[in-house]
Structures are given as structure tokens and as C-alpha cells.
A and B are shown apart, each in its own frame.
Chain A
Amino acid sequence: MGAPQMYYTSCESGLAGYPGFQFNAATPGVGEDVLRRVEQATSYEPPRSLGYEPTTEQIDGCPVNLCYLPGTDGEPAVLARTVFVGNDYSQRFGNYFVHALSLPPGHDLDGALPIDFWAAGFWSATQANGTRLPELHPTPAATFGRASAEAFLQDAGRLGWVPRLLNAVERAIVAGERSVIVLESDSEKVARWISAVCHLLPPPMARRLSFATYSYRPGRGTEHLVGTVPETDFTADDSALRGYFLLDAVGGQVSDGAAHPLAEMLAALGPEDAQTVWSLAGPLATGDEPDFAAWYPIAVAGALRADLPIEPDALAAMLHWLPSAAGRLQPRLVGDIVERCLDHDMLTLAHCLSLIGVATGTRDENLVADAEVRAFDLLLDEPSVVPPRVPRPVTARGTGYAVEQVTAALSRATGRPRETLALITVALHARLPLRSADLAGYGRDLVAPILLDDPGQPVPELLAKAPDVRRGVLDGLSAALSGREAAVLAVASRLSDVVSDDELAAYPDLSRMVLLARAARRPQDRLDTLIRLTGKGVPESSVVAALWPHEWTLDEAADVVRAAPQRFWESDALIDRLDQVLARDDEPRTAWGPYFLVTEFVADRKLGSRLSPVAEDRVRGMVWSRQQIRSLSRVRGRQLDERLRKLLGMVEHGEPAVARWLTGQVHTLILRLDPEHLAALLPTVNPKIRQQYRETLAATLGKRPDDDVMTIAAATFDARTRLGRKDRATADELDRVFADTVARWKTRDLDHLEKMLAGSSARNVPAAFAKWREDEVPRGIGRFLPRRRH
């Protein structure tokens, strides 16, 4: 396929019609945009090493720029060679000659890579006679290609730089990251570097690589890979090493950077082997692979097909990719890759499982069986380990092989508990078709002895999933019960989570043991267990002791009281537990609810006589006190005063629980006393209750004054006035509460209170309130300021 060509130089005549830099000639039909791209991409300045008196030989030896710009969005690619020619037609120095080819989309250079044309014979550096050029059929030189790139890399220790160079080129192509600059002693060596890179890269990526073998200002190049030589505008300093990816072959330095595994692999392969790999990997690619990450597994598959050594990480990457790609690949190719993977020394079980899935997709039963057989070989290489995923053979050959191998291994595993359990687990996970009797036999003969030998070990997971094995284990435990009761109990208590009641029903002694063990670990099940084990009788003290090895808490007592059947209370064991709770001085520790429940229950069922005297007194006192408090809501005046005094006596001399409860109750009742009784009672109550009373009074009077609050305020002030004459200290306490609360009331509310107090039976109360109001109620802005405390 022919390619349009162009010549660009400073000349007297050309397409522009005036002398100077212009296109000297071009194939008719080349577009303006192509001409512009060529002009932009090929500008040339010689290195300063050329000097001020260059000879013809020095000019001829100037760096050559072979530049390739891939086409995007349907535009042609451009391949151009620029050489320095010294003077132009007007004898001005600085002229160069560009011979460029426009490669329309689809022009694949007959399979050659653009860099292969570095030494091609067709490049021209002389002006055309006219302005029209024919199309050219480009042919690369045989001396410059993959073989020479291989030899170049092998020389002078260059191979070590290749992985990072490849990685940087890939990043530049894919992500537009920093451009790659190669500083070499001459442009031919740069071309050889580019050749090596192009022959190592995945071919589609190599065709996307734009490059220039020489630029005076490589830092301003738009190409991915730009070459330069010493004594140009470019300085290979630290800034350049950081700002670009710089391979300074002259100074022996290279920019820092990581290398992708594919870059490492390709560098290790070299251009010749890389070609083999890419040719075998070609049919595996979609053509849309964007970067090294996508190409890596494909390259590994290619290397595998080429019988080249594969590192374990590479194999893992390929096997991660294969399942998703297998669906679009020819089954023959997939089969080939799977077989080669199965033969790989570094294949792991996880890999093999992946291969089974891939092989299944090919519908080749032999391939699947091969993979299953290999998987079980790998699995049984470490018989004491149960892998997270276990192969489940589906083919007859695979299944038969697996059963044969597992049963043989079990027969050899006696005395190795870990291995035995692992093998049975594997057999279950793999769903191997083992007979029910065989599994029960394994449970009885292998698993049960292992459990009894070390009762502290966790319950093997396999028991939860294997009823046959479980049955065998229960048989074994039941048989051992007579001689090794402690060990059986220990094992049974651990088995209780996995063994169902129905299964246990066949083993009554074992069942009782398992139920007790289960309830011991799960407190919420204790009562249910007690009911189940008691049946229609009354609870035995041994059962109660087994279920509650400790004294009941108040909550546990309340729970039993709520749920236990009537007949259970015939059991002294339960009554004893109840007595222990009620006899404790510090009960209740938190809420009163359970305590009331238990005491009311004992009183209702008349169980007090079966309790100890202390517990019985507490029950009686508690019940009486609660009845008193309930009845006080209906009494007033003197009757209220008398009852209150009795309760206050209980506070002083009653049982601790009763006294504590009453302390929390009576101060609210005092609030409701009339002034006369209040004034009489207050000085007599203990300081703690008086303190609580004041706090309750302050909280009540601090609320928005409604009728109840007004009534309490009036009664309290009345009582305070009465007290003022005989108990100044108590009156002062009430004054302080009033000053903090009532003194802040609105005038309207204070007026209302004053009206209520006007009807007091004590003569001096209205006057006392007026004086108190005058002295204590702040005026003006003082009402809103914090009260000053004296």
C-alpha cells in the first residue's frame, strides 16, 4: 500500500510560492492538517557540539530525527525523518530536510513497526525537481529490527534499565504521565532504544507510541518517547530526573520509578522471545487492552503456550484473568492453557479450583476430570489443612479418584486427629458420595475418641453439617459414658450447640447431660430446662443446683416467680433460693419492681412461714408499708398526720429495705399536710427526710404556679409563720426555699398567694407575707438577676 510523501526544507521554490522554510514537494492530495502536523513535529536545531566551523562530515553526522505520530480519530499517522543539511539555498545556516510519509488509517506498514524504518533506504534528503511526489511503498531495512534490538539490549548492561523504561513508556501512552526522554551519545543509539521498546511492548501499544529519535528541546516534545544527545537545550540534572522519566545512558543514571510485572517479564524475555509470546498471545487479546495490567495475563498465557518459564505470581495473575476471558476464547485455546497450567509445578489448589471452573466452561469432560484429579492431588499434599474452598468433583473419574484418595488417607490417619478431622471435613465439603454407615463409623471410631482424648478442644465444625458423623459420635459418647463420665460431660456440654433435641432423645442419659450443659451456658434457657427436666413432678435440688450453681439474683428470683408452675413451689430447693434473696440486706440493688413482685408473691401464696424469720419479717413489713402508702392518698388532716408519724417510726426502726423505701416516699406526703400539722411535724422528722422534703418543695414551687402549687405554697408559708415563733432554724430553711422560688414568681401570682393567705386561721400570716414580700421579692431589673446569697 502506497503512502503519500512530503519534503520540507528551506528552499527557493515549493508549495508556498516564496523562498524560505516550506514544503518543497508533496504527493498531491495530502491534506493541510497533515502538512501542518509534519511542519510542527519536525522542526530541528542541531546540538551545540556542532561548533561554529562545522565541516561537511560534522553536518552529516548530526543527529537524525525519525519521528512517528500515530493518527487519532481517523487522521493519518505521520512517519518522518529529519536530517540537518547546514545551509539553505541562500547560504543561511540552520537548514534541515524533512522527508515525511502520511500513513492513512489501516496502513499497517506491512506488519513492520515505525521504528523499523530508521535505516530504510528510501529516505531522501535532497529537494525534488518539481512540487509533485509519487506515493511511496515503504520497506524497512533488514539490518535494523528485532534481532539488532536484542543484541543492543544485551550489550553494556542496558537490560537493567529496560523494566523501568517500559513502565514509564506505558504510563506515558496510557495515562499521559511524564514523557520519557532518552539521552544517548548519538541518535542511532536512541533509535535502538526505541526499537527495543517497540519490540517488547504489546504490538497494539507499540503502534500507539509516538516517538522522536532526536530533539534539541526534548522537554517541549509532545511525543511519548523523545531522544536527545549531549549539548542541547536539555540538561540531565536532578530536576530533569524528577520532572521527566529520564534514561541518561551517557551519564549512567535513570529516573526513579516502579516497574510493572509485565515490564519485568518482557525485559527478561528480550525482543526475540517477546515476539513469540505476543504472537501466541495475540489470539487471546480483545484488542482493547488499555494498559500493562490488562496485557499482563495475556502475555503470561502466551509465554505459557510458548513453554517459557512462568513465575508463580505471573501464573496467579493469568489464572485470575482466565475465567473471565475463557468465554470469548476458542475452547481449543482454553484447553491448551488449562492443560499447561495443570502441569505447572507452582500450581496451587486455589489455582486448580479456578481451572476446574474454566474447564467446565469448555464442556470437555476429560479436561474437567484432569483438573479434578490434579485438585485432589494438591489437596491431599497437605491432608491436615482444610482449604477455604474444596473441589467438588462432578465427573465420574474425578469423583472416583477423590473417594479413593480420601478413604485411603483416612485409613492411614489413625493417631493423627487433626489430619483425620481435616480429611472428613474435606470429604463432606467435596460432597463425596460416602455411605451413611461409613460416615457414622468415622464418627464413632475416629471422631468420638479424638473428642474424648481432648475434651477442651472446640467442637469440630464438621459435626454441625454431618448428621451421620454426629450420630456416630453420640454412639461413641454414649458407649463411653459409664467409664469416662467427666470427659463425656465435658464433650457433651460442648456438643450441645450442634446436637438437636431429637437426636439426643435416643440417648436419655446423654440428653440430660447435654441439656444441663447448654442451660449452664445460656442463662435464658435455665428455667425452660428446669421445666423440661422436671416434667410433671417438683424440681430436684440437684437439678436446681446444676442449673444455678450460685445464689439467685433478685431478677432471677423474679423470673422464676413469674414463670414457674404452682407445683414447683412445693420444692424446698426453690423456697431456699427465694429465702436467700430476701434475707440479703442490700436488696434491692437497682429497681424496686422485682422486689415488690417477690414479696407480694410470697405474701399472696402464704409462703412466708417456710422462709427464715428475717425474710418473713421483711415480706410482712414491705407489704404493710405499701398498703399504708396506698391508703394515704385518701386521708387528710389529723389522720394523715397520725399515719405519717407511724411511717416515720418505720423509717427509724423498720427493716432496711422497708426503711429505704419509705424514706423515698414520705417526703412527698409531707407536702400535703395542712399548716398546723406541718408546723408540728417538721421539727420532729429526721434530717435526711427533711432535706428530701425541702428539695421536693423547691422543685414543686419552682414550677409554673397552678392551683396545687398555690395551695402547697400557702400551706407551707402558713406553717413557716407558725414555726417562726418556736423553731427559728426550720423556719429559716423554708425561707430559703421561698426566696429561691416564690420570690421569683410574677406579681400576679404573688398577689393571688397573698389573697389565699388572707384567709389563714393564724392571725399574723397575712402581715408576715406582706413583710416577707416587701423584704425578699426583688424589684425592677433585680428580679432577673441572680439572687445574692447571704
Chain B
Amino acid sequence: MTRLTCPYCYGRFAEKEIKFRCGGLHPIEGKPCAPGPDPVRGQVLGDTKLQLPVVEGNGKRLSARCAKCRIETTIQICPNCHSQLPVHYSKINNRMVAMIGAKFSGKSVYMTVLMHELIHRVGRRFDAAVTGADERTRKDFSNEERDLYTEGVLPGATQTAAAERGRAPFVFRVSLGEHRRFRSTLRHTVLSFFDTAGEDLESDKGVAENVRYLSCADGIIVLLDPLTVPNVMEKFGLDPSVLPQAANRADSPINILTRVTEVLQKLPGNGPNKMIDIPVAVAFSKVDALWEGLPQDSPLRQPAPGTPYFDEGDGEAIHAHVQALLYDWEGGQIDQLLTKNYRTFRYFGLSALGAVPAVRSPGQARQKVGGAIQPHRVEDPFLWLLSRLKVVTTGKD
């Protein structure tokens, strides 16, 4: 029996366990249902807002009748956290994509830019409609998008999972294909993103905070800052001032990958002699800083293909190139770790902003982007994961 995963709490449940929430409509006779405390939401999400009553029903059906007001409701909720599920959640694909990365690797910026690209440019490329699946996602994402794209302000530091209170994942709905008269190719996929703090991958304890999130992931994007790889700065002859002051002291990518691997190995279904099945996209961010040190014909410097499918040939070329660079930079430790533990992984190189942010002027409180945002290959890891999950097709030129 297929089990579903809540895109908000990452709890797993069977389709028939889905519950409903009364719509609060006025019945022909009597009074409409009144909101009341929902202890489950209070306990799991810390939300003490009064809610309309929970309606028990068969989750395999798309509606249930409220026992109190006798009115049919179609609002489906997660049985674990009582969050409202996206429309027809159990009947469509739902995929959890986890994104983790070291501190200063640019996860928050990357997530905002990636979603912006998916909604606009990549959406056009794949003829896809990408929309926020709930009101909060739409509101919060538009705030972050405005901060970055309109105001040119980089996001602040992300709080740790332990300090996290009330911040919910971004949940998007991707619609691909089209509706035809006799054969519809329309496919809806729900994507849930949770932005973690870099601190959470600095220690075993922090990683453990994210176990639930990682254990439910259908694909993982590991964002690494190539400038934190030992010897990279020297090899490329870079000025250390391009790095954030404290990034020098950030943990190395190999340590971060090792901790994540240990967490994934402890998940149910994995064992000492088993490879990890979850596809992992290992993406090196901020490649614009290495631009000058890479050859002119380096695949990393080429623009992303515009084909309406994931270009496997282009992806393999990038993978091979980054793999070679890793061997050159740190003797292949990262590649060895991934090869020995992951059945499916792929390297990527990307730049969310397209350029190093401008140097901050004295008295300036917030870091500014510096110019127009020109993302480079930000969608590659995500599209590769979607191709592994059969959401988008794969092709080769």
C-alpha cells in the first residue's frame, strides 16, 4: 500500500487515513459548526488558532459529511498535523525535495532563485505551471522574491531547526502536460521545500534535527560552497576577501556529506551493506567565483540547454567535469564517499546570483546583490531529480 507524506509535517500516512475539515457552511437547519481548539495542530505545529471541527471519513474519497452540521466537505487534512493538504493530494504525484547545505553555501538565495526560475523561465521551457500550493507559501515566497529581486537584498541568516518555530516548508504545485480531448497528458506534482540552517549540518545533533525531513525526501540537493574545499582558493589564485569573513572557518564539504550520509544510512530500509537509494544532486554553488580559473570550453561555463526535457548528455558532461575538478582539488575524497554510499548521484555547478555580491558600504546593515540577478544553471540539479522521479522526461542531443 502506497503511503503518502504530508508536505508540511513530513509525517507518513495511508490514503484512507486522510481526514477532513468541516467547511463551516450554514446548514439549512441549525447553526453552522463553530471553530474550536485543535490540540493536534497546537502540539505538532504550535498553532493555537481555533479551527473548524475535524471530520472523520474515508480518505480514499474526496469528500466526507460532517457529523454535526451534516454538510459535505472536500477539505482534506493531514491526519498527523491537521494541515490542509493541497487539492486532490492523494490522487496526484507528491514529491519531497530536501535541500541541505553548509553554512554560507547560499541555500536561502538558491531556493528563492530556483523557484523564481521555475515559475518563470523553466516554466516556459517545460510548458509548466508552477504555483504556490497554499496561501502561506504564496505570501512568504512573494515576500522573499520581492526582497531579492526588487529590493536587491540578500536574505538574513536562517535559524536553526531547534530554534525554528512556526516556519513551514514552501509547498509548490507543478502542472505539466496538457489537457486533450481523448488523452490528457496533464500531470500535477506537489513539491515541498524546507530551507535548513547551515548550523544544522555542522554537528551530528543538528543533522538529527532534520532526520524526519531527510527521511521523507524523494530527492536531495546538497549545496556546497566550492570555496570551502581545501586548496581551492590557492589553486584558483582567488582573493580571500571574496569569501564571507567567517566562511573560512566553515566546515568542509566532506565532513558535511559524511554526516548526511550517516543520517541517511540510519533510516529504515537501509543497512550496512546497502547503498542509499535516494537520488542526491551534489551542487557546487557560487561557481561564478571560479569563472576566471575555468577553461573557456568548460561545461560549467556553458549556458543551460533550452530543451523541453532534461538533457542527459549535458548533465553527464557537467558531472564528469566536476568529478575531475574534485579529484584535482582534494584528491577525490568526496567522489569516493558518494560512489561507495549512493546508488544515484550527480554533480552540478551553479550560481544563483551570477556574480559576487557587492562589497558592503560602511553603515550598510544589509548585504545587497549589487546588480541584476543572472542565475546560471540553478535549475539543473532540480530538473535532474525530477527526471529521476519521472516527473520530466529525459533526452539526449
Contacts and interface: CB of A to CB of B under 8 A. Distances in A.
Contacts of B45: 220
A221 B48 contact: yes
Nearest to B150: A52
A17 B48 CA distance: 36
A90 interface: yes
A244 B48 contact: yes
A469 to B, nearest CB: 58
B47 A90 contact: no
A198 to B, nearest CB: 20
A601 interface: no
B365 A54 contact: yes
Interface stretch (A36-44, A331-339, A667-675, A700-708): A36-44
B358 interface: no
A16 B249 CA distance: 13
Contact of A16 (B42, B51, B199, B367): B199
A92 B244 contact: yes
Interface string B31-66: 000010101001001111111000000000000000
A10 interface: yes
A90 B104 contact: yes
Interface stretch (A172-180, A631-639, A677-685): A172-180
Contact of A221 (B46, B103, B163, B250): B46
A53 B364 contact: yes
Contacts of B363: 55-56
A52 B147 contact: yes
Contacts of A177: 37
Contacts of A12: 246, 249
A526 B251 CA distance: 112
A352 to B, nearest CB: 43
Interface stretch (B154-162, B325-333, B346-354): B154-162
B231 interface: no
Interface string A64-108: 000000000000000000000011111111110000000000000
Nearest to A13: B249
Interface in A162-185: 176-179
Given A220-B165, A243-B35, A90 B48 contact: no
B3 interface: no
Contact of A86 (B48, B244, B245, B365): B365
Interface string B154-185: 11111110111111000000000000000000
Contacts of B155: 94
B37 A20 contact: no
A255 to B, nearest CB: 10
A239 to B, nearest CB: 8
Interface in B2-24: none
A63 B170 CA distance: 27
B229 interface: no
Contacts of A243: 35, 49-51
Interface in A440-494: none
B166 A93 contact: no
Contacts of B163: 21, 39-40, 42-43
Contact of B245 (A10, A40, A90): A90
Contacts of A42: 163
A217 interface: yes
A244 B35 CA distance: 10
A448 to B, nearest CB: 61
A93 B151 CA distance: 15
B46 to A, nearest CB: 5
A19 interface: yes
B374 interface: no
A524 interface: no
A18 interface: yes
A93 B156 contact: yes
Contacts of B307: none
A219 interface: yes
Contacts of A86: 365
A18 B251 contact: yes
Contact of A39 (B46, B160, B366): B160
A222 interface: yes
A217 B366 contact: no
B84 to A, nearest CB: 14
B365 A36 contact: no
B360 interface: yes
A22 interface: yes
B202 interface: yes
Minimum-distance CB pairs A-B, first 8: A94-B156, A220-B166, A243-B49, A20-B199, A90-B246, A179-B48, A217-B166, A43-B163
19 contacts: A18-B203, A21-B157, A21-B197, A21-B199, A39-B160, A48-B143, A52-B366, A53-B366, A54-B365, A92-B367, A94-B156, A95-B157, A176-B42, A178-B49, A178-B50, A219-B48, A221-B48, A221-B165, A243-B35
Given A19-B246, A56-B365, 16 more contacts: A20-B202, A21-B199, A22-B199, A39-B162, A52-B151, A53-B365, A87-B365, A89-B246, A90-B244, A90-B245, A176-B42, A178-B50, A219-B49, A220-B165, A221-B166, A243-B50
Interface of B: 35, 37, 39, 42, 45-51, 103-104, 143, 147, 151, 153-160, 162-167, 197-199, 202-203, 244-247, 249-251, 360, 363-367
